[in-house]
Copies of this chain bind each other. A is one copy, B any other.
Amino acid sequence: MLKVTLKKIASTLGVSTATVSKALKDYPDISEKTKRKVKSLAVSLNYKPNSFAQSLRNQESKTIGLIIPEIVHHFFSNIINGVINAATRKGYFVIVLQSDESYESEKKQIQLLIEKNIDGILLSLSDKTVDYKHIKQIINQDVPIVLYDKISKSINCSKVIIDDKKAAFNATEYLIKTGCKKIAHIRGPLKPQTTIDRFIGYKKALEEHNIPFDKTLVYIGENLSYEDGYNLMDQIIDDHPDIDGVFASTDLVATGVLTRLKEKNIDIPEKVSIIGFSNWFLSKITSPTLSTIDQPGYEMGMKAFNLLHKEINQIKQGMPVNHEVMEISTKVIPRNSTKSI
């Protein structure tokens, strides 16, 4: 059979080989029209990439790497569970690594996984990762990678996300609809995208309901921990004694807020309403129970693996890779830390 090369596709379509290569890898700087043309010709010519990386890749290890920022964390535990269950069904093993929210660990772990010749990587960016060279490099080596939860828009690969803006908008709007007028927001550090988007959603909900945005109502919880919520609540009450709502970026933070308000004998939800984010198990058992946003980790883990598996097979079969961004839907779970609408 005639060996078809990038060059052949390029000359047939009258474009450069670089364009063909980029189109097959779904780069955003190539038009959709060109991508369609290149991909359909590649498929009809039975194009098989023939790089060294590719041949290595074909020695399947049936093992993928899952890099998780934090293992002891209800949401991420659910993701691990979803990934492992989906992988087991397809006969794959999952090596789990913890980045501990460290950029250096994340970089090193990706390198180790590549040396181990795993078939693909699932990655949620650490909070400290602000440069993406280490990820772009492996994408260029045709190693399938899917980002989940904490992603960056500037990385060109498949992603499984929730629409954090929409979810945060809904959480804040829910507080407004129950009568809150002065709502504090406890957000995470300035990166990653999730924390930025939750902040944007909060701000947008205020705007749409004609509540002026007040930047002194936005607080940063460096670790998004129970302690952050507990300690920041003192400061919030000092700064704004007339506060009537808190939208916390995680259920852990919200639980800290709730505990501190109870200690101060401030009535929840009559005086201050609280809404969290994630629907951790603990939100069902606090007193009062915690209103929150359901963010289905198990489903996210399953979908992330299935997307990765699809790409592993596409690359194995020499087919063009279609990157997808998959959104998992969220919803408000009203409980007793907010008033009824």
Contacts and interface: CB of A to CB of B under 8 A. Distances in A.
Interface of A: 63, 71-74, 77-78, 80-81, 84-85, 88, 93-98, 112, 116, 226, 255, 259, 262, 281-282, 285-287
A287 B282 CA distance: 12
A259 B282 contact: no
A116 B60 CA distance: 12
Contacts of A285: 226, 255, 259, 282, 285-286
26 contacts: A63-B95, A63-B116, A71-B80, A71-B81, A71-B84, A72-B74, A73-B77, A77-B77, A80-B80, A80-B96, A81-B98, A84-B96, A84-B97, A93-B95, A93-B112, A95-B96, A96-B96, A226-B281, A255-B285, A259-B285, A262-B287, A282-B285, A285-B285, A285-B286, A286-B287, A287-B287
A228 B71 CA distance: 26
Contacts of A77: 71-73, 77
Contacts of A98: 81, 84-85, 88
B93 A116 contact: yes
Contact of A72 (B78, B97, B282, B287): B78
Nearest to A98: B84
A78 B84 CA distance: 17
Given A71-B84, A84-B97, A285-B286, 13 more contacts: A72-B74, A73-B77, A80-B80, A84-B96, A85-B98, A93-B97, A93-B112, A94-B95, A226-B285, A282-B282, A282-B285, A286-B287, A287-B287
A85 B97 CA distance: 9
Nearest to A84: B98
Contacts of A71: 77, 80-81, 84
A184 B287 CA distance: 25
A301 to B, nearest CB: 10
Contacts of A259: 285
Nearest to A78: B72
A77 B77 CA distance: 7
A33 to B, nearest CB: 43
Contacts of A286: 285-287
4 shortest interchain CB distances as A-B pairs? A287-B287, A71-B81, A72-B77, A93-B95
A226 to B, nearest CB: 8
A95 B62 CA distance: 12
Nearest to A298: B72
A177 to B, nearest CB: 27
A223 B81 CA distance: 18
A262 B285 CA distance: 11
Residue from A73, A77, A93 whose CB has the most chain B CB atoms within 10 Å: A93
Contacts of A96: 80, 84, 94-96
A93 B94 CA distance: 10
Nearest to A96: B96
A269 to B, nearest CB: 15
Contacts of A287: 262, 286-287
